[in-house]
Amino acid sequence: MGYSINANLLGIIFGVIFFLIVIIVAIILYRRAASKKQLVKLEREFAERFLELKIYLDGLPKAKERVKIPFERGLKAMAEYKLDEAIRYFNEALNNAKGTQLVVLFNLIGLCHFNLGKFDEALKNLEESARLSEKFNDKQGKVVAFGNIGLIYQTKGDLDKALKFHEEALKLDRGMVNKQGETQDLGNIGLIYQVKGDLEKALECFEASLKLDKELERDKGIATKLGNIGMIYKVKGDLDKALQYFEDAKRLNEELGRKEDVVIQLGNIGLIYQTKGDLDKALKYHDEALRVSKEIDYKKGVVMNLDNIGLIYGTKGNLDKALLYLQNALDIQQKIGDKVEKVKQLSNIGLINQTKSFLDKTLKYFEQILRIHQDMGYKEGIAKDLCNIGIAHKTRGELDKALKYLNQALEIYKQIGAKKEIEIAENNIKIIEEQIKQKSG
């Protein structure tokens, strides 16, 4: 079942993988608020740095003309994001295809439906690809189908089903000594564990994937995993380790010319300094990230860094300037029709309003976000929201309510092992308990 592909066709194949610049959590959240058009736009941007689609062509590039011609036309249409046209060509090829060629074509049709946001159709075709791979004893076809089925469930937010398929794909890839497939599977499994709050398992997967990427000299994969590992250490509260990984990821992305990824790592480095309390250094990195984002017209980067700069000014006590940056970020989000980060902006505006004593509006923002995160099962987000609500109640003088929310947040932070957040929550609880004691005394 081996195959060779010429350089032009290889270029088309790589063009098939659509890049996503948000994590799984953001996708799940976005599906609640976005229009169909907005959702399709988001999902077609699946990034190599997060989820890796599996492409498998078997012997189709060498098939007979009546299969090969519509197949190649379908690939070209797919690369140009003419997905309905691609589906028509692949279906034309299906009429004359046989054996493992059918496995490939149903997989490609499934990927087209996936990128159109038609998950049920995608699932139906990928499951048919998996069934046929079993029939024809096509192990490579099976692992590809299983991996992509896992991605569909991952995108839909059904993480347990996604994990099942990715783990089965990993088992098959290891059985075939397919190291590139193995590192893709490990990366996707790591993301699932990260969202589920199992940071140790996520870290184990990312480190194993990084080792394989280095062995295979997959520089883009290496850069991605460095960033993933940095994020795990950030959540765990090991800021120095996180900083080291983010800086390494930034350097490698600069060498590779991946400017959007450079922006992301500059932002991550800025957030580390922000957490450390070095606001001037944080501002320097976010300003640089904002500059690069504008230079390459990376609107999501512009929004992220306007947001972070606004928070820094809020921490510095310049609340009017903070609100100016945050509102600017929110305005751009609305113009580009991307509501993924809108929840984040609302949350940050809520924090500034809290500081300005607009507590009713603040609680409204935080409670709205909490409900979304609870529906998603996103533990880290839930804990942050509970903390924010608790602090708002503390500011209002409602100490018993504040204590209740902070204790709930603390319990979740302990579950996911977020050391820095545990320390902050415990300090706030201690202060409130002392205030309650003084009032009752």
Q: Give the pLDDT band of residue 372 (cuts 50, 70, 90).
A: confident
Segment 188-209 shows an average pLDDT of 94
Q: In this structure, which topology does domain 357-441 adopt according to CATH?
A: 1.25.40
pLDDT digit string (tens) for 402-428? Answer: 999 999 999 999 998 888 889 889 999
CB 56 within 8 A of CB 138: no
Segment 199-207 shows an average pLDDT of 97
Q: Give the pLDDT band of residue 401 (cuts 50, 70, 90).
A: very high
Residue 58 pLDDT > 70: no
pLDDT digit string (tens) for 105-142? Answer: 999 999 999 888 788 999 999 999 999 999 999 998 99
What average pLDDT does the structure give for the chain? 81
**Environment class of 260 (CB within 10 Å of its CB; exposed 0-12, middle 13-18, buried 19+):** middle
Portion of the chain with pLDDT greater than 70, in percent: 80
CA 198 to chain centre: 16
CATH architecture of 258-342: Alpha Horseshoe (1.25)
Alpha-carbon span 112 to 104, nearest angstrom: 13
CATH architecture of 1-176: Alpha Horseshoe (1.25)
CB 183 within 8 A of CB 209: yes
pLDDT digit string (tens) for 5-33? Answer: 333 332 322 222 222 222 233 333 333 33
Alpha-carbon span 196 to 30, nearest angstrom: 18
Number of Cβ within a 10 Å radius of residue 85 = 16
Number of Cβ within a 10 Å radius of residue 440 = 6
pLDDT digit string (tens) for 246-281? Answer: 999 999 999 999 999 999 999 999 999 998 889 999
For the entire predicted model, the pTM comes to: 0.66
Alpha-carbon span 406 to 395, nearest angstrom: 13
pLDDT of res. 378 = 81
Segment 305-324 shows an average pLDDT of 85
Residue 40 pLDDT > 70: no
- Enumerate the CATH 1.25.40.10 domain ranges in the chain, comma separated: 1-176, 258-342, 357-441
Residue 43 pLDDT > 50: no
Q: Give the pLDDT band of residue 353 (cuts 50, 70, 90).
A: low
**Which residues, 6+ apart, have CB-to-CB distance to 277 below 8 Å?**
none
Segment 327-335 shows an average pLDDT of 78
Number of Cβ within a 10 Å radius of residue 64 = 11
**Which residues, 6+ apart, have CB-to-CB distance to 240 below 8 Å?**
none
